[in-house]
Structure 1
Amino acid sequence: MILEAVMLQVREGMEEEYEKTFKKASSIISKMKGYIHHELQRCIEQKGKYLLLIQWETLEDHTVGFRQSPDYQEWKALLHHFYDPSPTVEHFQRVDLS
């Protein structure tokens, strides 16, 4: 499993609209091949800051399957105008501590 972590900064005053739009956009990502789960967290200390966590079966399910799909273009059209600056996407893999 791969964890995609994205720190998002939403333009001031657009937070409520963003959350409503993100709820709609969630149906896009949740139908993708390799999608496992996602959650959006709102920062307590900094207004407009969010953390998006998405679990994928493989890195390619995100970077190829989703990012190169027509569905990604719809996702991008719905959400990307809210962000300033553009988000940084990082991928993580669990460390076996046993």
Structure 2
Amino acid sequence: MILELADIRIQPGKQAEFDVAIARGVEQAISKAVGFRGFKINKSVESPERYVLMIYWDTLENHTVDFRESAAFQEWRGIVGPFFAAPPVVEHFTLLSKSA
């Protein structure tokens, strides 16, 4: 399993609107993608314009090819993109260890 971690910075004062948009974007566009396994959205306490989106995929290619090259990616960006202050920083991780 692959963890996609997206560090998202949005425009100041748009948090309430973005809270709705990011949840809608994941449910409407990303959750139907091939290899999608789940997600978590976290918002920063100290930096109100910062969000961390974690998406779990079966494979790296499910995100980088199957999703990114699909119409669903364009739909996702249409929903959340207008809020971005800068392009999200995205990295992929594999699990090393976890608690019980």
TM-score category (smaller protein)? over 0.9
Moved over 2 A (4+): none
**What CA deviation, in whole Å up to 9, does each residue of 1:53-81 have, x standing for no partner?**
00000000000010000111010111112
Structure 2 length as normaliser, TM-score?
A: 0.92
1:59 aligns with 2:56: no
**1:21 match:** 21
**1:84 match:** 85
**2:47 match:** 46
Q: Which blocks of at least 5 consecutive residues in structure 1 are unaligned?
A: none
- CA distance in 2: counterparts of 1:62 and 1:26, whole angstroms: 13
Deviation at 1:40, TM superposition (A): 0.6
Q: Which blocks of at least 5 consecutive residues in structure 2 are unaligned?
A: none
Identity %: 34
Deviation at 1:94, TM superposition (A): 1.2
**What CA deviation, in whole Å up to 9, does each residue of 1:10-66 have, x standing for no partner?**
100111001111121122111111000111101011111111000000000000010
Q: Which amino acid aligns with 2:17?
A: E
- CA distance in 1: counterparts of 2:47 and 2:25, whole angstroms: 23
- CA distance in 2: counterparts of 1:79 and 1:89, whole angstroms: 15
- CA distance in 2: counterparts of 1:23 and 1:47, whole angstroms: 17
- CA distance in 2: counterparts of 1:91 and 1:79, whole angstroms: 20
